[in-house]
Structure 1
């Protein structure tokens, strides 16, 4: 796995820490562990699927769907990061 530069330099997790391990867990069939590792993993996968589908098939409401999914992802990532940081201190 690629090391987190932020964690290596500053000793603090970044907002993306855990996404590689969560993807690996999904590929190994450990879906609950993947969610616990990185709670936004499933909404990020849905967002990626919508973006790829829109690239090939030009979905009717794609921009609205992508915007909503992006906002949901940002909220999940920030909330889970704050919770993780509060558990560390």
Structure 2
């Protein structure tokens, strides 16, 4: 079930980024670049959206030593999140 989320301008902008391609996985740095928000603004929004059931998160499965970078946490809109974001 999807709970309501207060639609501040920042939340609306982050949702607009997700709605550009609702099926795409997005990670934090990508979302920061596209939305223009710093991590201190973005991550609290992602936490609220995840707790409300609008997005789901998963950690990338990779060996950081082999990849040469840390694993990324990917975010994606849920079906309920897509509907809620489009409606309001």
TM-score normalised by the chain length of structure 2 = 0.32
Higher relative contact order (CA 8 A, sep 6+): 2
* More helix by percentage: 1
TM-score by length of 1: 0.32
Per residue, is there more strand in 1 or in 2?
2
Query: Max radius of gyration: which structure?
Result: 1
